[in-house]
Amino acid sequence: MLCVKCGIPLSGDEEFCPNCGIRLCDISLIPDRVKPSDVYEGGEAHRPQVGLTGEAPVSSPRIGDSKEIKRKTNGWAIASLIFGIGAFTFVPIFGAIFAITFALIARRDIERSDGLQGGGYCAVAGLTLGVLGILLPSALLVLFLAWGVVFRDHGGAAKDNLIGAVEVARIYYLQNNNSFSGMRAKDLLEIDESLDIRDAPGRSPEVVYIDEASKNIARLYCYSRKGKKYVAAADGDRWRFKFGSHGESGKEWLQDLWHDLNPMD
């Protein structure tokens, strides 16, 4: 007798074909219709057109015949990717937080699905975008604060020195019969030796210079370490200050930059 599938000779006592593994029913009822010449070079025979019952036989499943199971994309992974993109568009920061959270949930579910769920790449992309969505704004915030603290010139010392010199200049004005005439740096140092004041011109940082002194008009200035010029001008006993101007151009004397301030009050 011959195997109905692969066509090799059989003794008739086998329950399974030793070559192809097909289960053999009552082998004595199967005619020798399959010949070795019908076998493919790969070892598989032509299937007979008629089986034992006169119907087309049902082929036995073989290794590799099963269809690949189609994996379903994890919904958390898709949500993570969407919020990761949103972290750079319509929901910054909060979108990044949701993207990271959903990505971690998706990766956990995918690992537990035994290969039935996909979307790992979406989860990784969402996680990456979420992390970047937090790190980049944080880095920008740190740079902004660093610029404000380190790089920005507040000129605190220069302003304080200028205001202190104005206070002493007002004392000189009152002692000199309400006049700034003849006011020099040495005169103000006699009133307050702690002043760092000189007669103009000069540009040393945080040093106050007397630029002008007449009966009712006085003008002092001081430069910060970054080159910003702070100016105090007096008209009688009333002083006005301009902070933050650069250089000595007359165009910088804009009325809206002046601030009324009375240091003695």
Last residue of a domain, one of 119, 151, 183: 151
8-12, long-range: CB < 8 A, 24+ apart: 8/36, 9/36
Pair (186, 254) in one structural domain:
yes
Number of neighbouring beta carbons within 10 Å of residue 110: 22
**Looking at residue 244, what is its pLDDT?**
60
Last residue of a domain, one of 136, 151, 166: 151
Pair (243, 162) in one structural domain:
yes
Pair (160, 240) in one structural domain:
yes
- Per-residue pLDDT reduced to its tens digit, 131-187: 999 999 899 888 888 776 665 555 678 888 888 899 999 999 999 999 999 899 999
Name 40's bridge partners.
none
Q: Evaluate whether residue 265 is within a structural domain.
A: no
Q: Evaluate whether residue 16 is within a structural domain.
A: yes
Pair (91, 59) in one structural domain:
no
Pair (36, 21) in one structural domain:
yes
Pair (96, 138) in one structural domain:
yes
Give every CB contact of residue 8 below 8 A, 6+ residues apart in sequence: 2, 17, 18, 19, 36
Pair (13, 59) in one structural domain:
yes
- Per-residue pLDDT reduced to its tens digit, 91-128: 888 899 999 999 999 999 988 888 888 889 999 999 99
**Looking at residue 27, what is its pLDDT?**
46
Provide the whole-model pTM. Answer: 0.40
14 pLDDT band (50/70/90 cuts)? confident
Pair (60, 86) in one structural domain:
no
**Looking at residue 25, what is its pLDDT?**
66
Pair (230, 189) in one structural domain:
yes
Give the H or E element holding residue 161.
helix 156-175
- What's the total number of domains in the chain? 3
Is 189's pLDDT higher than 50?
Answer: yes
Is 52's pLDDT higher than 80?
Answer: no
Last residue of a domain, one of 31, 66, 101: 66
- Give the domain extent around 145: 73-151
Q: Which residue has better confidence, 246 or 15?
A: 15
Q: Coil, strand or helix: which one is 192?
A: coil
Structure tokens at 228: 């910003």
